[in-house]
Amino acid sequence: MSEIEIALVGCGGMMGVHVHRGFKQLWEKGFRTFKIVACVDVNENAAQKMAAEIAQWQNLRPKVYTDVDDFIAQESSANAVDISLPHHLHHTVAIACLKSGRHVLIEKPLAITMRAARKIIEAAKNKGLILSVAENFRRAPHQRAIKWAIKQGRIGEPKQVYWVDTFERIWYWGWRDHLELAGGGWTLDGGVHFADLMRYHVGEVVEVSAQMANFKPIRLRKVNEHKEEINATVEDTTQALLKFENGALGVWVEATTAPARKSETRIIYGTEGAIDLNTGLFLRDREQPISISELQREFMASLSESEKERLFPFGITDDIAQEVHEFVVACLENDPKVEIDGDEGYRSQAVCMAIYEAATLMQTISVADVMALKVEAYQRPLNERWQIF
């Protein structure tokens, strides 16, 4: 195949990022073995606007559909889809697209529950199609550098992780504030990126215990000059303890109702030093840390030309452009070996879901049991709501 034809399903905020930082940037760099043929969104204005913007650089205006089923039935040309929808729709849309023979790039988390995620993976495997989860965080050059430094043994054996994010969000964030549409709060939404990074840097998480709360369920929506109160049903505070396969221990906190004082601590301690993901590498015998940018320079200088081209094609360091590029190439070559395939996305989602299960059951939970669908107390109502059996 010399060119893939892609449809964009869900033309909201994140798809805008895929288009601007991904497809458009690649196009401008001369990577043009794709064509965006359709924009699909229930919100016709959003789809029309995206189609018009794409037409300006692609010289072809994608067709607009307001119904996914119509798109699947009528758009014979698209052999791949990029899906960026509210979480409760991921599995139905991805499975329908896969069943109709289209490769899938899908935003994180893979699905609203593990059961739904497993169904997507099965659909891709049954059809021999590419399933790539749009997990961009680990692709950023500084995260690649941190991984490289840890792998080199610069902090010794990783032993402790402290990941603490506290801030306040009182404004209403649409579907994300409703459990049945989002599947969980920030511990799932942002958390699946963080779980992926922890796994990427330290290794698999095997066990978790956790407590959660919804301390301030009211969110404010601006309606003209007024503020309307909306009841949020997702958690706003999570405190979890993690155990990694290599014996490392972790503390993970996400609190979105912490007023006035923000904090963001992301540190991995090893036997010989520490990496602060925001500032740099700290070693016992050095007063000053090696900054993240310095570490990144060292890492880049260590790469061979072919490694550089593999990780940063066309010199592109943008994580979104990289994931889009990898997907297009995988489709062209019909090669399912993408970095964050369904199984990899499933593992990161399982860490988050294990935390929800642990908080629900007030028990230590094995991530393997969550992956095997043996623990679904938290997820059961979601599975029932969306008939995921």
Angstrom distances, CA of residue 370 to CA of 187, 204, 256, 355, 382: 16, 14, 25, 10, 15
- Footprint on residues 126-185 left by ligand NAD (CB under 6 A): 134, 136, 174
Write the CA distances from 238 to 185, 260, 355, 382, integer angstroms.
Answer: 9, 18, 8, 19
Q: Letter for the amino acid at 230? A: I
Q: What's the closest the beta carbon of residue 188 comes to ligand NAD, in angstroms?
A: 9
d(Cα 16, Cα 18) in Å, to the nearest integer?
Answer: 5
Asked whether position 89 contacts ligand NAD by CB under 6 A, the answer is: yes
Is residue 177 classed exposed, middle or buried when 0-12, 13-18 and 19+ CB atoms within 10 A define those classes?
buried
Binders of ligand NAD among residues 41 to 80 (CB under 6 A) are: 41-43, 46, 68
Residue 55 has, within 13 A of its CA and on its CB side, a CA count of 12
The residue within the footprint of ligand NAD, chosen from 4, 6, 80, 85 (CB under 6 A), is 85
Name which position in 189, 196, 236, 341 contacts ligand NAD (CB under 6 A): 189
Interactions with ligand NAD, residue window 13-42 (CB under 6 A):
13-15, 40-42
The single-letter code of the amino acid at 108 is K
- Asked if 113 interacts with ligand NAD (CB under 6 A), we say no
CB of 233 to ligand NAD, least distance (A): 17
Integer Cα distance of 253 and 268 in angstroms = 14
Secondary structure of residue 375 in the 3-state scheme:
coil
Among 35, 87, 144, 347, binds ligand NAD (CB under 6 A): 87
Q: How far is the CB of 371 from ligand NAD (least distance, A)?
A: 20
Which of 6, 11, 350, 370 forms a contact with ligand NAD (CB under 6 A)?
11
Nearest residue (CB) to ligand NAD, 11 versus 114: 11
> The dihedral of CA 181, 183, 185, 188: what is its sign?
negative
The piece of 6-14, 23-31, 164-172, 377-385 that touches ligand NAD (CB under 6 A) is 6-14
Tell me which of 27, 33, 49, 86 binds ligand NAD, using CB under 6 A.
86
For residues 344 and 389, what is the distance between their CA atoms, to the nearest angstrom?
A: 22
Nearest residue (CB) to ligand NAD, 35 versus 176: 176
Kindly state the smallest distance separating residue 11's Cβ from ligand NAD, in Å: 5
What gap in Å lies between CA 108 and CA 195, rounded to an integer?
12
Contacting range for ligand NAD; rule: CB under 6 A; set: 85-93, 95-103, 142-150, 280-288: 85-93
Interior/surface letters 279-306, b for 16+ CB within 10 angstroms, e for the rest: ebbbbeeeeebbebeebbebbbeeeeee
Q: What's the closest the beta carbon of residue 302 comes to ligand NAD, in angstroms?
A: 27
Should residue 12 be labelled a site residue for ligand NAD when binding is judged by CB under 6 A?
yes
Among positions 336-355, residues that touch ligand NAD (CB under 6 A) are: none
Would you count residue 319 as binding ligand NAD (CB under 6 A)? no
Residue 203 in the binding site for ligand NAD (CB under 6 A): no
Nearest approach, Cβ of 10 to ligand NAD (angstroms)? 4
Three-state DSSP state, 210 = strand
Tell me which residue has its CB nearest to ligand NAD: 12
Q: Provide, rounded to whole angstroms, the least separation between the CB of residue 345 and ligand NAD.
A: 11
Strand, coil or helix: 269 = strand
Q: Which stretch binds ligand NAD (CB under 6 A): 10-18, 21-29, 146-154, 241-249?
A: 10-18
- If you ran DSSP here, which 8-state letter would residue 43 be given? S
User: Looking at beta carbons only, is 14 or 311 nearer to ligand NAD?
Assistant: 14
The number of residues that bind ligand NAD (CB under 6 A) is 23
CA distances from 33 to 326, 328, 375 (A): 12, 8, 43
C-alpha distances (whole Å) from 333 to each of 3, 113, 125, 339, 372 are 10, 31, 16, 15, 32
State which amino acid sits at residue 322: Q
* Residue ranges in contact with ligand NAD by CB under 6 A: 10-15, 40-43, 46, 68, 84-87, 89, 107-108, 134, 136, 174, 189
